[in-house]
Amino acid sequence: MTVRNYRDKEVVFSQGDTADAVFYIQSGTVKLTVASTRRKKAIIAVLLRGSFFGEGCLGGQSQRISTARSICWEPVELETSKTDENGQANHKECFDRQLSAQKSTSSPKTERRTQV
């Protein structure tokens, strides 16, 4: 498991990248976007502190289907847990601990938008 800070507008992962890790937002905000074959982009989610993303790799997804980018005036701090060849998180106990802490407080807010 690793913790890394991301600057404003820094890409965490891009659509089409290998899906091999799950991310947990310890601080900051992350925007998820998708690009169509016609080069149009849509914002599919804005995730706040306490949110998980990139969990598609746990269900066997081999490539990222969206782009994740930090968006805020303060550094975004993400905790990353790599998955093994079977798509299992190597640090499940840490994510379980974070999930239970998240459930004991208020649920993370997710703002969903689409671009017109």
2-21 per-position pLDDT tens digit: 888 999 999 999 999 999 99
pLDDT digits (tens, 9 = 90+) for 56-84: 888 888 999 999 999 987 778 887 877 66
pLDDT digits (tens, 9 = 90+) for 83-114: 666 555 555 555 665 666 556 554 445 544 44
Question: Looking at residue 94, what DSSP letter applies?
Answer: H
Residue 93 has a pLDDT of 55
> Position 36: which residue type?
S
Q: Which helix (H) or strand (E) element contains residue 45?
A: strand 41-47
**In contact, 90 and 83? CB cutoff 8 Å:** yes
Structure tokens at 90: 């190597």
List the chain domain ranges: 2-105
What's the CATH class of domain 2-105? mainly beta
Considering only CA atoms, which of 38, 31, 24, 19 is closest in space to residue 77? 24
